[in-house]
């Protein structure tokens, strides 16, 4: 809840409690460090702690800013108090006052009784009243502060002191429960942020220097001791080393990296001293990008959240107007009209009408879904994608690196007559060193040291075809048969009959031979197809740039409905657009650079985050960190569970409030029932929302 003393109160009040959950996603590392977490934090009436005054720019989307030098230590009462102390004192005074009333103690009358209950009220209510007053100049009059202030002060005005205190006290207690739920979400993100190393050992000019990761330069060599976190992305220099990758992928089994293989920030070195050459600046590491995704995720609202926010802005002034009418209209139609009676009913009506349960529990529900997905190694870039993923009926998937392992090995070398196998391998291998494609890597690995001193220049990557360049003074083409056709290079007809993935080569405009490579489906690929079909997906499609014969074979093996191979990026986009035109809700799953346009085109773009390219990961709406296609169905289950919980909260809040509103207007419900309808329902909704993070998916 915004601090009423802030210079930016107007902006803060515009989003009331909803901003709190959004700010969870906008907090910086410094704001979520263990030191900050253990530091005593005050709170305002809502029970929310705030970001420091120097709030990050990313918080701006929430509409929540602080004035320079603003003091963000808030509390529920006098300065220095813990959040629970003053509500506890207020509760003790309330219970004591009720006991004194019950036993009709002589001194507990008149001014003494008013002061007693007034003190109990001010301990928990003075900041709410101040917030209501300070929100008036901004035009944001109809908010929960005003509802609570009118209702409780009105109760005092007609002598219902205990009920006025009870409403404000239980409202505050409800905010404390809400605060606990939000802080739990913050702790989850804080744990994720702590994956990043805060210092790194770098070897420069033979000396070991301990630096901030942001000061390390590309090409520097890091030394990572056993038990230490890798601070930056790089490639392993020394002998094979084992790393714990659970922080990035959720997988408990360690990974053994060979010299030259990628080592990512956030991994933990397990055994021997590892030397890693830095290949990415701090802000460009995969881990930094993942954390940015998490921080930004909550700011993207689902349609349900947007609806409730708009609804609350219309709903609140309507109920205030109805409460006024509830006091005035009976004067003209009721014979025995008693102002105090109808004012009391209007106050009850106001307390019931407060939309707290909806405004906080719905975004908290979506945040719970995002948190549950993160634990499963799935990153949603916004709560809106939880809703869209639940609605899809078609899943279109890339083949290589998505459904298959993307780890190829050269199986056969078939040079053209007059070409030596070693020469073919050297020329193709040298050219393929300029590509990051899994097939290219397989060729380079197979060729080995033979390409070390070969001069390669003028390399051009032709999307969907392959590479062209000058190698050791010769013009070399390496790619699929479409590449040779494009450059009018004739090749034997039997080459088109090869089923396996193939790299065809031409040297100085003449066909030079081919290499075949093999790739296998991922261990859970069949499970992914089976679970998606059981989950209600009516159409499963595989689109691949690989040969159609291979694509069809893999599709048949996995049980996929429809498959198309030999596609360029624009061909994939054509198919996806065709399905969208048919009215299908579509998710596309891919990992390569050429998948990025199609990922952006789909209703939901899903990227494989382990082997996937940065472009695809940045374009995607959902990132699967573990590279397991079966996680697509897991993400769907999480999306459905989140939707169920959110709508349970909506119907619970509307149902209870409708009943108690009617009872309040009829004089049957008192302030005590009103407290349950407001605070009680809010508590139930919050507990229900938190339940998502405990579910097993």
Q: Evaluate whether residue 533 is within a structural domain.
A: yes
Domain closes at, from 520, 548, 579: 520
Residue 181, pLDDT > 80, answer no
Looking at the fold, whether 302 and 154 belong to one and the same domain comes out as: no
Position 41 scores a pLDDT of 33
Tell me whether residue 374 is in a domain.
no
| Domain identity same for 567 and 624 | yes
- Average pLDDT over the chain reads 78
Please check the confidence at residue 350 and state whether its pLDDT lies above 60.
Answer: yes
* From 49, 398, 621, 678, active-site residue: 398
Percentage, residues of the chain above pLDDT 90: 33
pLDDT in the model for residue 408: 75
Active site residue 336: no
| In-domain check, residue 452 | yes
Q: Among the three residues 247, 276, 291, which one is the final residue of a domain in this structure?
A: 291
Confidence at residue 615, expressed as pLDDT on a 0 to 100 scale: 58
Residue 380 has a pLDDT of 86
CATH number reported for the structural domain that contains residue 438 in this entry: 3.40.1110.10
Under 8 Å between Cβ of 121 and 168: yes
Please give the order of strands across the beta sheet that includes 409-415.
409-415, 510-518, 501-507, 474-479, 466-471, 456-462
- Residues 413, 483, single domain; the answer is yes
Q: Which residue has the tokens 């290219």?
A: 440
Among 208, 126, 110, 108, which Cα is nearest to 159's? Answer: 110
pLDDT at 80 over 70: no
Write out 586-617 in H/E/C secondary structure: EEEEECCHHHHHHHHHCCEEEEECCCCCHHHH
Residue 539 has pLDDT above 50, yes or no: yes
> Per mean pLDDT, which range of 358-362, 559-563, 577-581 is the poorest?
358-362
Residue 517, pLDDT above cutoff 70: yes
Domains: count for the chain: 5
CATH number at residue 632: 3.40.50.1000
Structure tokens at 218: 């590309």
Domain assignment present for 17: no
Question: Are 400 and 526 contained in the same domain?
Answer: yes
**Any idea which of 57-71, 262-276, 390-404, 654-668 has the lowest mean pLDDT?**
57-71
pLDDT tens digits along 192-209: 555 667 889 999 988 889
Instruction: Provide the residue range defining the domain that includes 100.
Output: 84-193
Q: Is residue 21 part of a domain?
A: no
Examine the domain organization and report whether 412 and 487 are in the same domain.
yes
Pair (534, 388) in one structural domain: yes
375 domain-assigned: no
d(CA 556, CA 561): 8
Same domain, 276 and 307: no
> How far is residue 478 CA from its own chain's centroid?
40
> Picking from 19-23, 221-225, 340-344, which range would have the lowest pLDDT averaged per residue?
19-23
Domain boundary among 291, 318, 342: 291
Could you give the C-alpha distances from 512 to 335, 417, 490, 580, 630, in angstroms and in order? 105, 8, 10, 42, 41
Distant-in-sequence, close-in-space partners of 99: CB < 8 Å, separation ≥ 6: none
* Secondary structure, 3-state, 538-580: CEEEEECCCCHHHHHHHHHHHCCCEEECCCCHHHHHHHHHHHH
First-residue to last-residue Cα distance in the chain: 33
pLDDT number for residue 449: 84
**Are 398 and 546 found together in one domain?**
yes
Residues 189, 327 within the same domain? no
| Cβ count within 10 A of residue 286 | 21
182 and 282 fall within a common domain: no
Beta bridge partners of 470: 457, 475
Pair 400, 406: CB distance under 8 Å = yes
Output 539 or 57, whichever has higher pLDDT: 539
**What pLDDT is attached to residue 24?**
36
Same domain, yes or no, for 343 and 204? no
Q: Which two tokens stand for residue 313?
A: 């802005």
Say which residue the tokens 């139930």 belong to: 684
* 444 found inside a domain: yes
Lowest mean pLDDT among 182-191, 281-290, 435-444: 182-191
Q: What is the spatial distance between Cα 677 and Cα 164, in angstroms, rounded to a whole number?
A: 15
Check whether residue 499 and residue 478 sit in a common domain.
Answer: yes
List the single range of 37-41, 101-105, 106-110, 232-236 with lowest mean pLDDT. Answer: 37-41
What pLDDT is stored for residue 692 in this prediction? 85
Whole-Å CA distances, 485 to 222, 490, 503: 46, 7, 14
pLDDT confidence of residue 73: 35
Average pLDDT (54-80) is 34
Average pLDDT on 618-627 reads 82
pLDDT category of residue 568 using cuts at 50, 70 and 90: confident
Predicted TM-score (pTM) of the model is: 0.57
Q: Is residue 4 part of a domain?
A: no
């Amino acid at each position: 809840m915004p601090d009423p003393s802030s210079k930016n109160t107007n902006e803060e009040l515009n989003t009331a409690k909803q901003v709190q959950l959004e700010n969870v996603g906008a907090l910086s590392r410094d704001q979520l460090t263990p030191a900050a977490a253990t530091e005593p934090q005050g709170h305002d009436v809502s029970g929310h702690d705030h970001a420091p005054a120097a709030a990050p720019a990313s918080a701006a989307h929430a509409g929540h800013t602080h004035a320079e030098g603003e003091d963000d230590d808030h509390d529920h009462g006098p300065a220095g108090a813990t959040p629970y102390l003053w509500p506890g004192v207020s509760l003790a005074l309330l219970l004591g006052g009720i006991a004194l009333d019950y036993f009709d103690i002589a001194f507990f009358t008149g001014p003494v009784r008013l002061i007693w209950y007034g003190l109990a009220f001010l301990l928990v209510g003075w900041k709410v009243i101040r917030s209501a007053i300070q929100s008036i100049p901004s035009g944001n009059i109809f908010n929960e502060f005003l509802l609570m202030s009118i209702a409780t002060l009105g109760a005092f005005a007609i002598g219902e002191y205990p009920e006025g205190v009870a409403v404000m006290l239980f409202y505050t207690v409800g905010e404390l429960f809400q605060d606990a739920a939000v802080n739990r979400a913050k702790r989850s993100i804080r744990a994720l942020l702590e994956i990043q190393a805060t210092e790194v050992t770098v070897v420069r000019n033979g000396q070991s220097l301990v630096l901030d990761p942001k000061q390390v330069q590309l090409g520097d060599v890091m030394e990572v001791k056993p038990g230490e976190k890798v601070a930056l992305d790089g490639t392993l220099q020394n002998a094979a080393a084992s790393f714990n990758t659970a922080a990035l992928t959720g997988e408990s089994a360690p990974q053994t990296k060979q010299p030259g293989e990628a080592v990512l920030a956030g991994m933990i070195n397990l055994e021997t001293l590892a030397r890693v050459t830095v290949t990415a600046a701090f802000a460009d590491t995969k881990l930094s990008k993942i954390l940015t995704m998490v921080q930004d995720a909550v700011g993207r609202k689902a349609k349900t959240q947007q609806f409730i926010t708009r609804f609350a802005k219309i709903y609140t002034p309507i109920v205030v107007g109805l409460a006024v009418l509830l006091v005035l209209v009976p004067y003209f139609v009721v014979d025995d009209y008693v102002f105090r009676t109808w004012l009391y009913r209007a106050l009850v009506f106001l307390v019931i009408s407060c939309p707290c349960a909806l405004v906080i529990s719905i975004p908290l529900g979506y945040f719970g879904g995002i948190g549950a997905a993160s634990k499963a190694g799935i990153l949603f870039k916004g709560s809106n994608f939880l809703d869209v993923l639940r609605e899809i009926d078609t899943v279109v998937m890339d083949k290589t690196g998505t459904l298959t392992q993307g780890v190829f090995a050269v199986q056969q070398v078939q040079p053209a007559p007059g070409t030596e196998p070693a020469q073919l391998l050297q020329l193709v291998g040298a050219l393929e060193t300029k590509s990051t494609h899994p097939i290219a890597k397989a060729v380079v690995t197979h060729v080995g040291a033979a390409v070390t001193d070969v001069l390669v220049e003028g390399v051009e990557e032709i999307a969907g075809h392959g590479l062209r360049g000058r190698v050791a003074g010769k013009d070399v083409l390496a790619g699929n048969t479409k590449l040779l056709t494009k450059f009018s290079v004739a090749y034997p007809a039997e080459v088109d009959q090869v089923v396996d993935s193939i790299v065809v080569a031409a040297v100085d405009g003449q066909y030079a031979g081919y290499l075949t490579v093999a790739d296998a489906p991922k261990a859970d690929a069949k499970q992914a197809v089976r679970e998606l079909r059981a989950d209600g997906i009516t159409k499963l499609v595989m689109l691949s740039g690989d040969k159609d014969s291979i694509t069809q074979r893999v599709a048949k093996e996995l049980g996929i409905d429809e498959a198309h191979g030999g596609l360029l990026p624009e061909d994939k986009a054509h198919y996806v657009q065709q399905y969208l035109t048919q009215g299908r809700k579509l998710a596309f799953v891919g990992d390569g650079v050429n998948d990025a346009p199609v990922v952006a085109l789909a209703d939901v773009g899903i990227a494989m985050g382990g082997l996937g390219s940065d472009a695809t990961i940045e374009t995607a709406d959902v990132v699967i960190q573990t590279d397991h296609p079966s996680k697509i169905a897991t993400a769907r289950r999480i999306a459905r569970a989140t939707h169920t919980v959110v709508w349970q909260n909506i119907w619970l809040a509307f149902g209870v409030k409708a009943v108690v509103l009617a009872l309040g207007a009829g004089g049957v419900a008192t302030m005590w029932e009103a407290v349950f309808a407001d605070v009680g329902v809010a508590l139930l909704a919050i507990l229900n929302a938190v339940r998502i993070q405990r579910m097993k998916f």
